Amino acid sequence: MGVKIIGPVSPPISGPGVKNMILISTLKRLKIEVNVINTLYWKKDLFKVLFGIIFNNSSNVILSTSERGRYICLPILLLKKRLIKNFKFALLPMGGGLYKEAKNLNKLFRAIFVDSLRAADYVFAETKGLAKDLRELTGTDNVVYLPNFKDRADILKQDVPNPMSTFKLLFISRIRKDKGIEISLKAIDKLIKAHNIPISYDVYGPIRDSYKDEFFGVLSRYTFASYKGVIEPEKVSEVISQYHCFLFPTYCKSEGFPGVIIDAYIAGVPVIVTNCSFNAEIVGNNVNGLIAEPEDVDDLADKIKHLYDDQNLLHEIACRNQIEAEKYLADNVITSFVQMLRQKDWSI
């Protein structure tokens, strides 16, 4: 008996879609049968998706969706849990907003939502902070920490290039305003003007349609910055390895455990993140990179300059991050995931 996975699956590329793609491929490597209800185009195929969820005959269901998918699917899974003997489900929530979602619901819907979480065999939280919040919310011990994960990439990081020619920075993620790219541009522009530091900044990722015109308008003001398009998931670490530092200046409050940070670790590249959501749990300051305050141009500029000035620290972090990446490799994380499901008598 295998598992049924409900959630978005790439392509096209998105954080949740890529995570589920890796989850599916890893489970198959572990010889577990996997069936999928792909919710990526749920608006277009709503009735097809709902039919598949309600009438699927699998006794083992993994719900791996972001906010809207949870609202739709969790009450259905709760009902099936109460009506069908031996029906089992686990929640693998995307992002870090699950706790805030529940707190912001009205009393009735919050009660249904929390009952659904309690009914799950497991709720797998991407960060320890989110796991703690959810345990307090549900009053149960079925919430466990399970970090984000990535497939291993064969990256042989060479010695860190001398940044005195050009200090090469990049951003990779879904591009929208609250990811902080405009903050990065202002910080880099300040450094170039104040200290004459040679910097290039390349931006990768799918662009939110509503932000596209504004993004390209802003980007066109800075000669040091370029948009480089979308990278195939299996090439992300390889691309990152060509840079000195990965910038992730998000101020998105629902950020969870961005998989691209693991890609940077695999590539052996330091990261500069903002102290937003759970980033400070994932990135140790002066260990895996540096932490700046959200939406603070001056502080971000200081952090970039600090890494530029201290090449020994840059190299130490780069080496340390490739070791750190081992904790987040899919084979390791998903093996632990499967073992926990089997402890709850999942027949997989």
For the stretch 297-313, pLDDT in tens is 999 999 999 999 998 99
- In tens, the pLDDT along 23-72 reads 999 999 999 999 998 887 766 666 677 777 777 777 899 999 877 778 88
Tens-digit pLDDT profile for residues 269-289: 999 999 998 999 999 999 999
Closest among 168, 307, 303, 317 to 243, alpha carbons compared: 168
Residue 194 is which amino acid?
A
User: Looking at the domain that runs over 3-149+329-343, which CATH code has it been given?
Assistant: 3.40.50.2000
Beta carbons of 188 and 301 less than 8 angstroms apart: yes
**pLDDT (mean) for 161-181:** 87
Could you report how far apart the first and last alpha carbons of the chain are, in Å? 6
pLDDT at 101: 84
pLDDT of residue 156: 53
How far is the C-alpha of 299 from the C-alpha of 297, rounded, in Å? 6
pLDDT, greater one: 190 or 57: 190
Share of the chain above pLDDT 90, in %: 70
Please state whether the peptide bond connecting residue 12 to the residue before it is cis, i.e. omega within 30 degrees of 0. Answer: yes
pLDDT at 69: 76
Please state which of the four CATH numbers 3.40.50.2000, 3.40.630.30, 3.60.10.10, 3.90.79.10 is assigned to the domain occupying 167-327: 3.40.50.2000
Average pLDDT over residues 113-140: 94
- The tens digit of pLDDT for each residue in 194-246 reads 999 999 999 999 999 999 999 999 999 999 999 999 999 889 999 999 999 99
Asked whether this chain's domains 3-149+329-343 and 167-327 adopt the same fold, the reply is yes
Tell me the CA distances in angstroms from 345 to 80, 96, 169, one per residue in order. Answer: 17, 28, 47
**Domain locations in the chain?**
3-149+329-343, 167-327
Query: Tokens 């259905």 map to which residue?
Result: 76
Strand order in the sheet with 143-145: 34-38, 3-7, 60-63, 88-91, 122-125, 143-145
| Residue 174 pLDDT class (50, 70, 90 cuts) | very high
- Quote the CA–CA distance of 126 and 289 in Å, as a whole number: 20
Mind listing the pLDDT tens digit for each residue in 231-241?
Answer: 998 899 999 99
